[in-house]
Amino acid sequence: MFSLMANCCNWLKRWQEPARKVTLVMVGLDNAGKTATVRGIQGDNPRDVAPTVGFSKVDLKQGKFEVTIFDLGGGKRIRGIWKNYYSESHGVVFVVDSSDVQRIQETRETMAEVLQHPRIAGKPVLVLANKQDQEGALAEADIIENLSLEKLVNENKCLCQIEPCSAVLGYGKKVDKSIKKGLNWLLSNIAKDYEAITERVQKDTAEQRALEEQDKKERAERVRRIREESIGSEHMRICAPEVIKEVSL
Q: Per-domain residue ranges for the chain?
A: 19-192, 196-249
205 is in an annotated binding site: no
pTM of the model: 0.82
Is 23 marked as a binding-site residue? Answer: no
Is 131 annotated as a binding-site member? yes
CATH code 3.40.50.150 for 19-192 = no
34 annotated binding-site participant? yes
| 154 assigned ligand-binding residue | no
Q: Between 46 and 157, name the one with better pLDDT.
A: 157
pLDDT score for 249: 44
Given a cut of 60, whether residue 5 has pLDDT beyond it is no
pLDDT tens string 77-121: 999 999 999 999 999 999 999 999 999 999 999 999 999 999 999
Would you say 130 is a known binding-site residue? yes
End-to-end CA distance of the chain: 113
Q: Is 29 annotated as a binding residue?
A: yes
Does the annotation list 76 as a binding residue? no
Residue 177 labeled ligand binder: no
State yes or no: 7 annotated in a binding site.
Answer: no
Mode of pairing for the β-strands spanning 55-62 and 65-72: antiparallel
48 or 172: whose pLDDT is higher? 172
| Alpha-carbon torsion (70, 75, 79, 80), positive or negative | negative
**How far is it, in rounded angstroms, from Cα 209 to Cα 72?**
20
Q: Is the dihedral of CA 104, 105, 110, 112 positive or negative?
A: positive
pLDDT on residue 170: 87
